[in-house]
Amino acid sequence: MRLLYLGDIMGKSGRTAVIERMPDLRASLDLDFVIACGENAAHGFGITIKICEALFDAGVDVITTGNHAWDQREIIDYIPTEPRLLRPANYPEGTPGQGAGLYETASGQRVAVVQIMGRLFMPPIDEPFRCLEDFLSGTQLGTDADAIVIDIHGEATSEKNALGCIADGRASLAVGSHSHIPTSDTRILPDGTGYQTDAGMCGPYESVIGMDAGIAVRRFMEALPGERLEPATGPATICGVMVETDDQTGLAASIHPVRDGGHLAPYLPTISGALA
């Protein structure tokens, strides 16, 4: 099974690139399932119902969120009705929506997706390590799902690494979101789980993590309250990670970074029956 995870979709530039390119990416990479982090899709802050529907129509199967999940208030009532839209599983009990789901591909394979949010340099939230352990204990690869994807939404690379260690041998892919900068540590962990500390963003890299550079720099340099951050408007690079799973075990057979368009050096896996 071939699965694609796309990092944080940033503003109009990012969502336009994903929506326009998704049908071709699904076809050219022969993808079975696509997950995207959408928490910055609405002008950099949250996601709307309209954007969710546009991403689903374009070919995204599941959308994750993160610490900006509730920036657009309309999502609070929408998320309980839409199982394809996830928020972090370790939000406190009683939070609307769900943090994990089990989905079926067109060929009938089962894909479990869970989002875990870190606590280092992030808003207060329930403990992520026990939450991930509980999920993996109750959703076993090869028994309950043919593939398991973990979105680790966090600031600290150490925390993401540690959560990846918990996932190793128990998930197909553990991949970070939130930092907006793609890391170069794409690899298969010792017990077979594909891993990358951060997938990067789908957004304009001539910016400060997707925001207008001039405004962001002034906010760093001045002590007074500054301008509201605004998304940059340049061409977006689509950034993500693609993993191909072993159909017998559900573990990663291969893993590749994905970069398409914009300013970063492009990289797309070569597909010819099997990954090159």
What does DSSP say about strands 33-37 and 62-64: parallel, antiparallel, or unpaired? parallel
Does residue 68 have an active-site annotation? yes
Environment class of 213 (CB within 10 Å of its CB; exposed 0-12, middle 13-18, buried 19+): middle
CA distance 38 to 250: 26
Amino acid at 68: H
Whether the Cβ atoms of residue 115 and residue 173 lie closer than 8 Å to each other: no
One-letter amino acid at 84 equals: R
Q: How far apart are CA 40 and CA 71, in angstroms?
A: 9
User: What does the alpha-carbon distance between residue 176 and residue 139 come to, in Å, rounded to a whole number?
Assistant: 20
DSSP one-letter string for 12-23: HHHHHHHHHHHH
Helix (H, G, I), strand (E, B) or coil at 193: coil
Structure tokens at 100: 């994990």
Joined tokens for residue 262 = 């914009």
Q: Which residue in the list 68, 178, 180, 256 is annotated as catalytic?
A: 68
Residue 260: exposure state from Cβ atoms within 10 A (0-12, 13-18, ≥19):
buried
- Cβ atoms of residues 159 and 179 within 8 Å: no
3-state secondary structure of 230: coil
List the catalytic residues.
68
